[in-house]
Amino acid sequence: MTEVPAEVRGNPLPARVFAHPDELVAAVGERLGESAWLQVEQARIALFADATLDHQWVHVDAERARLGPFGGCIAHGFLTLSLVNFFLPQIVRIDGARLGVNYGCDRIRFPAPVRAGARIRGVGQLLRAEAIEGGVQAWIRVTVEIDGETKPGCVADTISRYYL
């Protein structure tokens, strides 16, 4: 079992709770809230590099990266994207659903690099929701903010299905 980071333990409740999946349809266009901040340490970046076999120097070679375009190591874009799955349950909870699944993403962008040591959080907005057989499908834009930066590290239009 993976330990929940200390900064997240103090934020046990999601920003927005819906009593039933059908309530999503009425909330389209609304801001759902934000997750707790999470620090992206170099150790996490190195573990992701090992897991994905992506050891590009800009992620794992501190000496070379210091001289590169970002002045140090940066997180993989797909590491930042993968953390969206960690942020979503902090942003929204759907009571009355027996199962929620990740159906995919419509659009993903990486406007700014996430530097090693940066703090990030997810901010959610409900873009669209519609009934599907046995439940509701929701399109939630998760913007991964970088503490102290004007541009986000990732913007992902996620698609989730909540079954009754």
Domain ranges of the chain: 14-163
Among the listed residues 145, 152, 153, 157, the one whose alpha carbon sits nearest the alpha carbon of residue 102: 157
- pLDDT of 80-131, one tens digit each? 999 999 999 999 999 999 999 999 999 999 999 999 999 999 999 999 999 9
In three-state form (DSSP H/G/I as H, E/B as E, the rest C), the secondary structure along 51-118 is HHCCCCHHHHCHHHHHCCCCCCCECCHHHHHHCHHHHHHHHEEECCCCEEEEEEEEEEECCCCCECCC
For the structural domain made of 14-163, what CATH number should be given? 3.10.129.10
pTM for the complete prediction? 0.90
For residue 51, what are its two tokens?
Answer: 């897991």
3-class SS letters over 24-47: HHHCCCCEEEECCCEECCHHHHHH
**Is residue 1 over pLDDT 50?**
no
Residue 104 one-letter amino acid? G
- Give me the percent of the chain exceeding a pLDDT of 70: 92
pLDDT at 9 over 70: no
Residue 2 clears pLDDT 50, i.e. is over it: no
Using the predicted structure, report yes or no on whether residue 72 has a pLDDT greater than 90: yes
